[in-house]
A and B are shown apart, each in its own frame.
Chain A
Amino acid sequence: MLQQIEGSKAVAETIAACMPDVVCAYPISPQTHIVEALDELTRLGKIGNCQFVNVESEFSAMSVAIGASATGARTYTATASQGLLFMVEPVYNASGLGLPIVMTVANRAIGSPINIWNDQSDSMSQRDSGWIQLYAQDNQSAADLHILAFRLAEELSLPVMVCMDGFILTHAMEEIDVADIDLVQKYLPKFAPRQVLDPQDPVSIGAMVGPEAFTEVKYLGHFKQLKALEIIPELSEQFEEVFGRPAAGPDDYKGLVTKYHLEDAEVVLVALGSVLGTIKDAVDEHRKNGIKVGAMGITSFRPFPLDEVRKSLKHAQKIVVVERAFAPGVGGIVSSNIRTALSAIDIKINTVVAGLGGRPITLKSISELVDKALYGSLPEFSFMDLDVELVERELERNLLTRRSGPMAENLLKDLGTR
């Protein structure tokens, strides 16, 4: 049923319709509204016999999820930013053990400097953790992807992160069709675990594995990710049959990528998450002026759909990857994956780091980006809307004084006195 609802609330109600057995969480902005709503829904008895566990840290949130999932419970948690980093050890453990936990990451910057606003450095830091990562471009897909995530996780016995931009999506009110529980139950069968702690059939889970089989266990984790590239399109198709819309949004292509005016596009902007909305507006603007621009979104970042990306981009002349995170000392993260997909194809790829720590990515900036890409003035790697003057003042101070003081505080002082 269509309703005007906050993104977090829509996600919480969708999770409830998935009927998890255990939900555990530690509060962190901007994930809080999701778990607050789930606590209330659990207490009101709206999620059957679901147990809501308040834990004392994210390390314990993921650990509780591991224990619950290994006991055959459908398990959900949510986190963001520092919280995701604090649970990194059990995050890797969950994927190594092959436990189908579903977790929302309400994307937020990582400190220092401490910053509660949106970028994607948190989930990007876990891209090689063995978890599947799905990125939502709007709140409808944020909610819907969770249903697909449970199905996918349980099919493969592998955990799935659904990444949604913090505040931009989690706190935005939009008209959303929150999936009906009957339809969810039709789509999502009862959880049938591959491994379960059961006194009737005792097994040891989490044994020590030496060089004789460690590579093979890790290979199987990789194999499952590749398998997901086959299964995601199937599950997406079934999702559309049941719910009448694609799980990953209107421009969805097989649940792996989204395509917007790609067929004849000469310049293609590539991105993950909510910035695709602004990018599509910029595409429309340029198309009005007869400029052949298109956009590709990556829904499934892990596994990375190398074939679909190659097919979607190989006819482009210029590719601009807009990234909400980067690898200091090297450059783009998503871009390097795009390069892998396009290896041996000679297309210019530009990386633009944008929207760090909640800096707005405006239509104006994106449009200028397209112009620069068209007229060749875009550097290979750049930061959108970088305050060059601010940076230079600090660099100068570093040259002049040995004890130049704390960097972030200096910049804020400069801003205040400019």
Chain B
Amino acid sequence: MSTPLKFYQVGSFAVGNRLLGDEQLSVQSRSDRTNSLTSGHRACQGCGEALGARYVMDAAMAATDGKVIAVNATGCLEVFSTPYPETSWRLPWMHSLFGNAAPVATGVAFALKAQGRSDIRVVAQGGDGGTVDIGFGPLSGMFERNDDVLYVCYDNEAYMNTGVQRSGATPPAARTNTTHAVGENPGASFTQGKNLPKIAMAHGIPYVATASVSDLHDLEEKVTKAMSMHGARYLHVLVPCPLGWGTRSEETIKLARLATESGLFPVYEAEDGVVTATKKIRKQVPVDEYLQIQKRFSHLFGPKGNPELVKAIQEIANRNIAEFDLLGEAQ
């Protein structure tokens, strides 16, 4: 079957552009991509996690000549990819429990070391609940030992698999089914939150990075870079969830972009505990633009809205922008 060439693709850096040169071609647009998380799985339409996982695993496979063992925490990604007897995984994959993806991956890494299989690499993955909450202690242990594992957190900011409950990664004021938008203080409480990329950095591990599904070139590059390194590595990917956020399926990428362009989700890299690169915001947007199109924040807007809380959220964005110099103002 022949597909007519669309010439406007030439010169575009769209991640799916197959006409770019070898240097610029994304792993995902290569004909030899591994389809590690192949089609037919049961993720919702517009699932940011399915998209992120596909790019992460294919990039990891491309970087290792197809020699990756994946370990998965319990969660959406596990459930939608392996309803028995079906599996979407075209690589060796294991799921054990909710909170133990990191130490199971450690076990895989040490078994490979004992067997002298330095060519095979390990990637662990989980959602924000499995990472920042229930799996946090074991993950910190894996970081501290500097085990040879890349851990990827797909952060959709709540327990979506169990039906949208608050996690340690749920942002302030967000409505979930355990932080209802009722009463005097509707939504999630206004706390400091648990910033796992920074906690990972505090362990001084070789590589920590954040990424967003709005910039898949960047995501692939970070996975490729992580796979070129050894020791404990951590990648935190923002993955919007239409179901949990109350957003339109076709707006997942837009939301991920607004999260980064507003400064609420800073995208950066750190090596050995020190920030080495940040993605600058191209065009700063006020947080309202990001919040307003999500039902989980709808109680902040309209006649019964709460402009004070919106302002407080804007201040979080401003602090991020200053901390990571996201506008490139510092010299």
A55 to B103 CA separation, bound complex (whole angstroms): 8
Q: A90 contacts B111, CB within 8 Å?
A: no
Q: B84 contacts A207, CB within 8 Å?
A: yes
B101–chain A nearest beta-carbon distance, Å:
9
| Residue on B nearest A23 in the bound complex, by CB | B110
Chain B CB within 8 A of A162 CB: no
Q: B114 contacts A205, CB within 8 Å?
A: no
Chain B CB within 8 A of A72 CB: yes
Q: Which 4 A-B pairs have the closest CB atoms?
A: A67-B107, A56-B141, A71-B111, A73-B111
Chain B CB within 8 A of A405 CB: no
Chain B CB within 8 A of A356 CB: no
A17 to B141 CA separation, bound complex (whole angstroms): 29
Chain B CB within 8 A of A10 CB: no
A71–chain B nearest beta-carbon distance, Å:
4
Q: A208 contacts B103, CB within 8 Å?
A: no
- Count A-B contacts at CB 8 Å: 164
A74–chain B nearest beta-carbon distance, Å:
9
Q: A55-B103, A67-B71, A204-B82 are in contact. Are A89 and B94 (CB under 8 A)?
A: no
For B66, the chain A residues whose CB sits under 8 A away are: 199
Chain B CB within 8 A of A260 CB: no
Select the stretch in B85-93, B221-229, B286-294 that faces chain A: B85-93
Can you give 30 contacting A-B residue pairs, CB < 8 Å?
A54-B145, A56-B138, A56-B141, A57-B138, A59-B138, A60-B137, A60-B141, A63-B97, A63-B138, A65-B107, A66-B100, A67-B110, A70-B94, A70-B104, A71-B107, A73-B107, A75-B111, A93-B96, A197-B108, A199-B91, A201-B92, A202-B89, A202-B90, A202-B93, A204-B82, A204-B95, A206-B95, A206-B96, A208-B83, A210-B84
A208–chain B nearest beta-carbon distance, Å:
6
Q: Residue among B90, B105, B106 with the most chain A CB within 10 A?
A: B106
Q: B97 contacts A73, CB within 8 Å?
A: no
For A54, the chain B residues whose CB sits under 8 A away are: 145
Chain B binding site: helix, strand, loop or mixed by DSSP?
mixed
Chain B CB within 8 A of A388 CB: no
Among B67, B109, B113, contact of A199 (Cβ-Cβ < 8 Å):
B67
Chain B CB within 8 A of A4 CB: no
Q: A199-B69, A207-B95 are in contact. Are A67 and B111 (CB under 8 A)?
A: yes
Q: A208 contacts B84, CB within 8 Å?
A: yes
A67 to B100 CA separation, bound complex (whole angstroms): 10
- A residues sitting closer than 8 Å to B (CB atoms) are 21-22, 24, 49-51, 53-57, 59-60, 63-73, 75, 89-90, 93, 97, 197-199, 201-210, 213
Q: A51-B113, A70-B108, A209-B84 are in contact. Are A63 and B94 (CB under 8 A)?
A: no
Q: A22 contacts B137, CB within 8 Å?
A: no
Chain A CB within 8 A of B267 CB: no
| Residue on A nearest B141 in the bound complex, by CB | A56
Q: B99 contacts A199, CB within 8 Å?
A: no
A197 to B109 CA separation, bound complex (whole angstroms): 11
Q: A205 contacts B97, CB within 8 Å?
A: no
A24 to B92 CA separation, bound complex (whole angstroms): 23
For B191, the chain A residues whose CB sits under 8 A away are: none
Q: A71 contacts B69, CB within 8 Å?
A: yes
| Residue on A nearest B114 in the bound complex, by CB | A21
Q: A56-B144, A208-B84 are in contact. Are A203 and B92 (CB under 8 A)?
A: yes
B87–chain A nearest beta-carbon distance, Å:
4
Chain A CB within 8 A of B116 CB: yes
Q: A72 contacts B120, CB within 8 Å?
A: no
For A57, the chain B residues whose CB sits under 8 A away are: 137-138, 141
B19–chain A nearest beta-carbon distance, Å:
31
- B residues sitting closer than 8 Å to A (CB atoms) are 66-69, 71-72, 78-79, 82-85, 87, 89-97, 99-100, 102-116, 120, 137-138, 140-141, 144-145
For B67, the chain A residues whose CB sits under 8 A away are: 199
Q: B107 contacts A204, CB within 8 Å?
A: no
Q: Kindly list 4 other residue pairs between chains A and B, CB separation below 8 angstroms, not including A63-B103, A67-B111, A90-B97.
A: A49-B115, A49-B116, A71-B107, A206-B94
Q: B107 contacts A64, CB within 8 Å?
A: yes
For B110, the chain A residues whose CB sits under 8 A away are: 22, 24, 51, 53, 64, 67-68, 73
A178–chain B nearest beta-carbon distance, Å:
23
Q: Residue among A50, A64, A201 with the most chain B CB within 10 A?
A: A64
Q: B108 contacts A71, CB within 8 Å?
A: yes
A92 to B85 CA separation, bound complex (whole angstroms): 21
| Residue on B nearest A61 in the bound complex, by CB | B103
For A75, the chain B residues whose CB sits under 8 A away are: 107, 111
Among A24, A55, A59, contact of B99 (Cβ-Cβ < 8 Å):
A59
Q: B103 contacts A204, CB within 8 Å?
A: no
Among B93, B102, B107, contact of A205 (Cβ-Cβ < 8 Å):
B93
Q: A22-B111, A54-B145, A209-B84 are in contact. Are A199 and B94 (CB under 8 A)?
A: no
Among B71, B92, B107, contact of A202 (Cβ-Cβ < 8 Å):
B92
For B137, the chain A residues whose CB sits under 8 A away are: 56-57, 59-60
Q: B107 contacts A24, CB within 8 Å?
A: yes
